[in-house]
Amino acid sequence: MFEKLSKKIIKWAKDRDLLHRKNAPKQFMKFIEEVFEFKAEMDQVERIDHEKLKEIYTDRMKLEMGDIFVTLIILCEQLGIDLFDCLNKAYKKISIRTGKTINGTFIKSEDL
């Protein structure tokens, strides 16, 4: 499913003439913008006590997270980087990592 959507996103970007390496710095800034939009929605959810409102903001949070994925998929394509290869490499790295979670943040063993 993710791979199918990724291909659709790449086609969408190609149809709009976005897939040029020279566009990567602007695409990176778009990614950063989307991360901050997600953070704003996440902060709203944390402040809400009413469950119905929390659902609405959680749905908005999902949309912003989707936008983050879209910007990353396009950025990877612009740079000629295989997204799934990146995920695989990152997983291999974290799968052997040891450490412990302190106050909600995972701290690598070598940083303890």
For residue range 79-98, what is the model confidence (pLDDT) as tens digits? 999 999 999 999 999 999 99
108, β-bridge pairs: 99
Say yes or no: 39 and 67 in one domain. yes
What amino acid is encoded at 112 in this protein? L
Say yes or no: 88 and 77 in one domain. no
Say yes or no: 88 and 70 in one domain. no
- Better pLDDT: 52 or 70: 70
Residue 52 has pLDDT above 90, yes or no: no
19 contacts: CB under 8 Å, gap ≥ 6: 10, 13, 74, 77, 78
Say yes or no: 23 and 61 in one domain. yes
Say yes or no: 46 and 65 in one domain. yes
Residue 20 has pLDDT above 90, yes or no: yes
pTM equals: 0.84
Say yes or no: 26 and 73 in one domain. yes
pLDDT of residue 63: 93
At 32, is the pLDDT very low, low, confident or very high (cuts 50, 70, 90)?
A: very high
Place of tokens 């990152």: 90
For CA atoms 38, 43, 49, 50, give the dihedral sign.
negative
Domain residues for the domain of 101 are 84-112
- Better pLDDT: 60 or 75: 75
Say yes or no: 73 and 95 in one domain. no
Say yes or no: 24 and 75 in one domain. yes
Q: How many domains does the chain have?
A: 2
Say yes or no: 10 and 65 in one domain. yes
CA–CA distances in Å: residue 58 to residues 54, 80, 84, 99, 105? 6, 33, 27, 30, 22
